[in-house]
Amino acid sequence: MTLAKVHAVSKYWHGITLHPVLFKVIWFLINSRKENKLPTRSLIFISASLIACSALATSFDCTKAKTETEQLICTDPELSLLDEKLSEAYKAALLQLNTKLLFKSSQRAWLNDIKQCKSAACLKTAFTERTALLNNVATEGSAAEWNGEYARYTNGKKNNATPANIVLLGLKDNRVFVHGFALGTYSSQGTHTGDINGLGDVRDAHASFSKDSCKVEITLKQTVLAIKDNDSCGGMGVTFTGTYKRQ
């Protein structure tokens, strides 16, 4: 059987497209069977195992890969494995949150950022760093007390006029992952936005976040946050300052 025939057959095996290296392996196995070097049952078992492994190599269906990033992942075995590990770490981090909308938004923002990577090497570095971060999320102890999504409240009610939301994930190394989004208005210029995303340092129940000109101080008391920023974390009229409650 030729490589072309192996490729054609693979298209009909549950819609799975195999990595080119696996084509050659299965082709070798088939030829070994023709020379009576390999029992038929062994050929079927090994081929099925290889195809199954190929199907599990990524966190998404490679037959539907469209973007340059997805295509790079599907054609690089090492990158495919890193993608799967990242997916597992992300799902584990999600379990630490009661509400997950903002954290999912944070992950989408990160996925959008890595579109700037034009090589497998760049993606491997990005995936490795992101996986290490997510695997560092605390699941117990004082660090885990930060875990949650919080919304800003004014006079005991959720602030819908100038809303702000923030997700925090306590890490095992006395840091906290921070991602927040806020809206603000300024005179007749309309609505402006602010976004914070990165890592902060933790000391007891206090966290400090600083990135570029933005500086944020966060104090945790049970399920309530007291946040103070320096009014440099977004457009005119935007501030993260206020009282937040865990959702």
Could you state, in order of their start, the residue ranges of all structural domains in the chain?
3-55, 62-135, 142-246
Q: Is the pLDDT of residue 193 over 90?
A: yes
pLDDT tens per residue, range 72-103? 999 999 999 999 999 999 999 999 998 888 89
Q: Which long-range contacts (CB under 8 A, 24 or more apart) does 199-203 make?
A: 199/171, 199/175, 200/175, 200/176, 201/174, 201/175, 201/176, 202/143, 202/146, 202/170, 202/174, 202/175, 202/176, 203/174
First-to-last alpha carbon distance for the chain, in angstroms, is 60
**The one-letter amino acid at 122:** C
What pLDDT sits at residue 15?
40
Give the bridge partners for 137, in sequence order.
171
Write out pLDDT tens, residues 143-172: 999 999 999 999 999 999 999 999 999 999
pLDDT exceeds cutoff 60 at 13: no
Q: Candidates 1.10.1740, 2.40.128, 3.40.50, 3.30.70; correct CATH number of 142-246?
A: 2.40.128
CA distance 96 to 124: 26
Predicted confidence band of residue 18 (pLDDT cuts 50, 70, 90):
very low
CA atoms in the 13 A half-sphere facing the CB of 159? 21
pLDDT the model gives residue 127? 97
Q: Which of 91, 78, 94, 178 is nearest to 128 (CA)?
A: 78
CA-closest candidate to residue 230, choices 215, 211, 208, 210: 215
Site of tokens 């920023």: 229
